Amino acid sequence: MAFVNYSTREINVKIVYYGPGLSGKTANLQHLYARAPAQAKGRLISLATETERTLFFDFLPMNLGTLRGFQVRFHLYTVPGQVFYEASRKLILKGVDGIIFVADSHPLRMEANAESFASLSRNLREYGLSIPPLPAVLQFNKRDLPDAVSVAQVRLSLGAPSLPEFEASATRGYGVFEPLKDVARQVLQTLRQ
């Protein structure tokens, strides 16, 4: 549900990074923030606990061009991965325009991936949404791990619909921009319609 501000000629779009705890959601935003040109980004706001895990969200507004004379501003959020914060995860999804699901490629995280994707589906249903038609991509993170499970195994663990897929290592900085570009393209295509 993109917010259109006619007085400022601006369209505000909300993209949410969703996934299990420690899957790399915050690392994605930190990498994007570090590499984005100064004129294309706002402040990165991170609320972390004592253990350095995101408690509520990271928020990074990025200005990525225009659409029919309107400036398009993407607001990037992450949800807390821990199941304990389910209410926060659901709240952050309110008004979402696109999803980047960050799956952990570590062999011991397949169940956490499945639980998190099921949580995403459940929370979206509460708002009358589903994937598809909501723009979404899958990012298979931590592909640099020596014991990373195959992409096919991660995909199978999710039980997700067929979505665009990207392999990544957010801490090393590869495969980070591509999922954002793809989901942004999907959102803009939806807005044009």
Give residue-wise pLDDT tens across range 137-151.
Answer: 999 999 999 999 999
Residue 102 pLDDT: 97
pLDDT for position 130: 97
- Predicted local confidence at residue 57, as pLDDT: 44
User: What pLDDT, on the 0 to 100 scale, is given for residue 64?
Assistant: 65
State how far the Cα of 167 lies from the Cα of 95, in Å rounded to an integer: 27
Distance, in Å, from the CA atom of 184 to the CA atom of 189, rounded to the nearest integer, reads 8
CATH number of the domain enclosing 120 = 3.40.50.300
Domain that holds residue 185: 3-192
Ranges under pLDDT 70 in the chain: 47-62, 64-65, 81-84
pLDDT for 34: 86
Q: What is the pLDDT of residue 70?
A: 85
Domain total of the chain: 1
Asked whether the beta carbons of 138 and 164 are under 8 A apart, the reply is: yes
Alpha-carbon gap, residue 172 to 2, rounded angstroms: 31
Supply the pTM of this predicted model: 0.90
Two tokens, residue 69: 């004379």
Question: pLDDT at position 17, please?
Answer: 95
